[in-house]
Amino acid sequence: MRAFTYQRVAATAEATAALARIPGAKLLAGGTNLLDLMKLEIEAPTHLIDIRDLDLARIEDTAAGGLRIGALVSNTDLASDARIKRHYPVISRAIVSGATGQLRNKASTAGNLLQRNRCPYFYDTDQPCNKRLPGSGCSAIDGASRGLAVIGTSSACIATYPGDLAVALRLLDAEIETVDAAGRTRTLPIADFHRLPGDTPQIETALQPSELITAVILPPPLGGRHFYLKVRDRASYAFALVSVAAVLHPDRTGRIAFGGVAPKPWRVEQAEAALQDSAEAVVSIAFDGATPTEQNAFKVPLAARALASVIARARESSDAV
């Protein structure tokens, strides 16, 4: 790990000012992703801004009937909140499916959204990687790609967004609230928050250099049956090969989002109309234009089977009522 300076702040203005003033500065909350990357010298911030004392750890009702989740709410507190479990259970199920209890205790809501995309070559500093060193090449395209993205990729990068929470938030059409060093606030749809790699895979989100996430805004509850199915190589503590987040209604309408298949949570709203037909029809539309490698082409039919399993569970639940 390379040398860095450290600062613990007590106000968002102090944090964003330091971000704007100090080249190479990074925010530190739970540190569950950043510190690992620092140890591997993939991330080498010159300055760490510890934001754990900011007043961003509350979950509050909104006037619109939804919830405002502070950026520093831990994954454990979010998953166990009674309002989340009652009205947005897909969030609880997504969080509990990932990581360990210890990591969920430390990981923050905003930090979870900002975890870096996964690829074995991104983590191997002896291999070329456009995400680490733009212009150096993508080792994964002709290398080990079994767990990597099949859609939304580019010739520069096929890394996969690894998280679970963001897939559930994309399903719900959550919004991301931010503030910058000038005190300007904005609200981004989560659909626009994570970026596809294009020719700049090192830029993974729409955040500007001095912006800090202050909250995630949930819309009013959708109702319906909530599901989160995560298919992985081992039963726990593994990233998804494919995950499916779903809200399904008895009339066979609903919403679907996929994880483990793209550089960002993957939802194609037009595909949801095909729920009236079959899981295969939904996946055919949602994965139109997919460019899998030989090693990960199995993810497309796996997504269809995972979605079919979720739909079958929803029907069984309806029949039992």
Mean pLDDT of the chain: 96
The answer to whether residue 321 scores a pLDDT higher than 50 is: no
Report how far apart, in Å, the C-alpha atoms of 41 and of each of 30, 35, 112, 166, 314 are. 18, 10, 20, 26, 45
Higher-pLDDT residue of 234, 224: 224
Q: What is the CA radius of gyration of the chain?
A: 19
pLDDT of residue 100: 84
The 8-class DSSP code of residue 258 comes to E
Helices and strands (H, E) in the chain, number of each type: 11, 11
Q: Are 210 and 287 in contact (CB under 8 A)?
A: no
Single pTM value for the model: 0.96
The 8-class DSSP code of residue 30 comes to S
CA dist., res. 209 & res. 195, Å (int): 15
Task: State mean pLDDT over 293-319.
Answer: 93
pLDDT of residue 179: 98
> What is the residue whose two structure tokens read 């569950």?
32
List pLDDT tens digits, range 252-304: 999 999 999 999 999 999 999 999 999 999 999 999 999 999 999 999 999 99
